[in-house]
Structure 1
Amino acid sequence: MTLSFFDQFASPTLFGIPLIAMALALPWILFPSPSSRWLNNRLSNLQGWFINRFTQQLLLPLNLGGHKWAVLFTSLMIFLITINTLGLLPYTFTPTTQLSMNLGFAVPLWLATVIVGLRTQPTHALGHLLPEGTPTPLIPVLIIIETISLFIRPLALGVRLTANLTAGHLLIQLIATAAMVLLPLMPMVAILTATLLFLLTLLEIAVAMIQAYVFVLLLSLYLQENV
């Protein structure tokens, strides 16, 4: 029986029970928890160094009001990186290929940045809807355009993450299928295809990390406009 290429994006079930909750909870088990020892092992030190460097880089353009979001942004970054990279393993499921889940992350966090801006500095937050020096006849049109662009931000966040991961998984499956079909017919071409598949897999590992970073970075830029 030939399965559809899109079956890999269906949520796995066992005895009719969706296993997406297990896929979401699994990444947290893989990271070592902090200990009370004076000296940690190398993995804990590497994890702490990465978190510190990422947090410093992310919060560099933000003022002190935005530093309260450090724990949330860092946790989201580690969570997305782990889910994206684990989804590249065989016989696994990538929850971030589901648009509903990505929008579930993007919409509340984007809405929180907007609410923070309206609470702390409403004049400055509303001022983004109308650029300074706009001619009077263009004011209604620009307000409508800027409002639409404001509400498109969470949709763009979710669609960007979903589209990049989905396209990468489909390419890997297409090239892997081509390599398996060509192996008994044209072995040399199959070897070249397998080499291309290996290079594409390395690229997808980089894409999985970069897309998680871009997701959190754009949220921090939205927050920067409102704090």
Structure 2
Amino acid sequence: MNVSLFDQFMSPTLFGVPLIALALLLPWLLFPTPSSRWMSNRLLTLQNWFLGQFTSQTFSPINVGGHKWALILASLMIFLIFLNMLGLLPYTFTPTTQLSMNMGLAVPLWLATVLMGMRNQPTASLGHLLPEGTPVPLIPVLIIIETISLFIRPLALGVRLTANLTAGHLLMQLIATAAFVLLSLMPAAAIVTMMVLFLLTILEVAVAMIQAYVFVLLMSLYLQENV
């Protein structure tokens, strides 16, 4: 039973070709293409408003030097939202349930913020490793602890996104299986279970959007420390 539950998180293949590549390309095909007209349609207007609100809210506390990251982080958030939302459809695969992919997104962006901080303001970046006013005997221990916490940040980003989506998908499959089994045995209990499944689906849609926003928000906080 456990093997069948976790089979949905295995990368599917067709004729030996991993289909995760198609799952990664699909969100970009759904984006509306900008037109050359002066007046945009409703979808483009809504998308531009959403991107403008997100960019202004995310980059308002960041210095001007970090505003060049706006395009990268906005594209990343939309990409993650589409991947998470498409993974809720039947007979689909969610690439963000793979820890390797999430780490592949988190590690390069985190490393870029750290290297940028080391290049632009090395004193301030190294100062984060040692809080001001630390007693002399505690200096080596605090430096080691802060260094470990610095290197664990990308791991926390990837594990958070993976764990939240994996837990939600597992819970939905368990409740759906229970509703299917109870349908012939206890119809009333099956109806209640289906209602719970419907509410959980709405919750998972919210989680899919919130987790993408949290991923990008934490990345912007790391950027703020190094700009």
TM-score of the two chains, using structure 1 as the length reference: 0.98
Q: How does 1:31-110 map onto structure 2 within 5 Å?
A: 31-110=31-110
Aligned equivalents of 2:216 and 2:123: distance in 1?
26
RMSD: 1.1
After superposition, the C-alpha distances for 1:93-121 in whole angstroms (9 at most, x for unaligned) are: 00000000000000000000000000000
User: How many percent identity over aligned positions?
Assistant: 78
Find the counterpart in structure 1 of residue 143 from structure 2: 143
Aligned equivalents of 1:3 and 1:45: distance in 2?
45
After superposition, the C-alpha distances for 1:71-105 in whole angstroms (9 at most, x for unaligned) are: 00000000000000000000000000000000000
Deviation for aligned residue 1:3: 6.5
Deviation for aligned residue 1:209: 0.3
Runs of 4+ with >4 A deviation: none
Aligned equivalents of 1:208 and 1:161: distance in 2?
9
Structure 2: runs of 5 or more not aligned: none
Aligned equivalents of 2:214 and 2:25: distance in 1?
22
Deviation for aligned residue 1:41: 1.0
Find the counterpart in structure 2 of residue 168 from structure 1: 168
Find the counterpart in structure 2 of residue 209 from structure 1: 209
After superposition, the C-alpha distances for 1:13-32 in whole angstroms (9 at most, x for unaligned) are: 11111111110000001010
Aligned equivalents of 1:2 and 1:60: distance in 2?
46
Deviation for aligned residue 1:2: 10
SS for the counterpart of 2:91 is coil
Find the counterpart in structure 2 of residue 25 from structure 1: 25
Structure 1: runs of 5 or more not aligned: none
Aligned equivalents of 1:66 and 1:2: distance in 2?
45
Aligned equivalents of 1:129 and 1:209: distance in 2?
33
SS for the counterpart of 2:38 is coil
TM-score of the two chains, using structure 2 as the length reference: 0.98
Q: How does 1:115-154 map onto structure 2 within 5 Å?
A: 115-154=115-154
Counterpart of 1:27 in structure 2: which amino acid?
P
Aligned equivalents of 2:153 and 2:96: distance in 1?
18
Aligned equivalents of 1:2 and 1:50: distance in 2?
40
Cα 1:154/1:2, change in 2 over 3 Å: closer
Deviation for aligned residue 1:40: 1.2
Aligned equivalents of 1:31 and 1:155: distance in 2?
30
Find the counterpart in structure 1 of residue 158 from structure 2: 158
Aligned equivalents of 1:96 and 1:2: distance in 2?
20
